[in-house]
Amino acid sequence: MTLTHEQSEIHASKRSALAIVDCDVHPYPRSLDEIRQHLAQPWRDRYRGGGRGFFGNPVHGSRLDSTPPNGGPPGSDPSFMRKQLIDEYGVAHAVLLPRAFCNLHPDPDFGSAIAGAFNSWLADTWLGEYNHDGVFKGSITVNHQDPQAAAREIDRWAGHPHFVQVMTDSGARAPFGQRMYYPIYEACERNGLPLAIHPGTDGMGINIQPSPGYPTHYIEWHTCLSLSFQAHLVSLITEGVFERFPGFKVVLVEGGVSWLAPLMWRLDAEWKALRSEVPWVKKSPSEYLIDHVRLTSQPLERPERNTHLINLLEAMDAEHILMFSSDYPHWDFDSPTHAFPRLPREQRERIFSRNAFEFYGIG
């Protein structure tokens, strides 16, 4: 049957409405024993869970309505998540990012063991038992304090049909462009998996706080999370990581959005004057974004005037670089129906759907 143009538009609209990809969803184990069963000794007895220590939300860390009706932590009940997120908003795929907090440990073997346990747990549950329709896509957690072990962990899971990316925390001891991390990028490139960077261990354990010192309050720490993302992105570009690994891609998750355009304006200007210092950066820094970098939308900084946000999205080329995320089930959850102002249809479809389908190669 040949469709008229109007019918094609209607069908495309329906497909778009049903094809949201949420690029930042957090599943949690029902109890720590679900993780411990995947840990060998002596790590099993030592594991006490993770967290952000003194930079925890003092009011409420999750949506007030996200506690499963049968109990358990928010994000631990797949049926309830399907009801609140998948079914409520017509989400085609939820990209899962577990919170292992494995990168803050002084003992790299312990951190790598925790990462491996979370990957085994995720594969058995959310990507296995709970995933009859393939709606859940997963992230391979790695401990970047031990890049060689991280590379082995990537190779271990790269053939799994529902792992679509590698993930690590933005909290680190050095900017991510430095060569100590190259084994991770080599493994990502050879397996065709992007690296997702997510906040969570900045200033925790052995990681360096990206601000000049330690903040006093959670509001200060949380507002400034984008600082480490800016530093990592500039490092990746100026160290020539994307030239050395031309197939390597990065997605910056939950690190903010509004800073990207002015940061690239400044870096492009600096590069024009100082390009002899970094001859391996063969094109302007902003040119690397479209081929190698994506950002997720939550938290989307919202000015009072929607026109200002729309101009900002245009300045950062959001139509090709931004991917929708909700951060379910956390307190600053962004609803797909309220996160953005009214956008042109093509731009909205790319941000909510096509960019993620293309970036992750989801069929």
Q: pLDDT tens per residue, the chain (363 residues)? A: 333 444 334 333 433 454 999 999 999 999 999 999 999 999 999 999 987 667 888 877 677 688 999 889 999 999 999 999 999 999 999 999 999 999 999 999 999 999 999 999 999 999 999 999 999 999 999 999 999 999 999 999 999 999 999 999 999 999 999 999 999 999 999 999 999 999 989 999 999 999 999 999 989 999 999 999 999 999 999 999 999 999 999 999 999 999 999 999 999 999 999 999 999 999 999 999 999 999 999 999 999 999 999 999 999 999 999 999 999 999 889 999 999 999 999 999 999 999 999 999 997
Residue 87 is encoded by which pair of tokens? 């079914």
Q: Which residues of 35-49 are buried (b: 16+ CB within 10 A; e: fewer)?
A: bbebbeeebeeebee
Prior bond of 98 cis (ω within 30°): no
Amino acid of residue 57: N
Plot region of 50 (φ>0 → left; ψ -120 to 50 → alpha; else → beta): beta
Q: 226 by DSSP, 3-state: which?
A: helix
* Cβ proximity of 98 and 56 under 8 Å: no
And the tokens for 172? Answer: 């680190």
Residue 241 host element (H or E): helix 241-244
- Please, are residues 214 and 184 in contact by the beta-carbon 8 Å criterion? no
Please give the CATH architecture assigned to the domain spanning 23-360. Alpha-Beta Barrel (3.20)
Q: What is the pTM of this model?
A: 0.93
Alpha-carbon torsion, ordered 102, 118, 227, 290, to 10 deg: 140
Residues 6+ apart with CB under 8 A from 198: 24, 97, 167, 168, 169, 170, 253, 254, 255
The token pair at 267 is: 């870096």
Burial class (CB in 10 A: 0-12, 13-18, 19+), 273: exposed
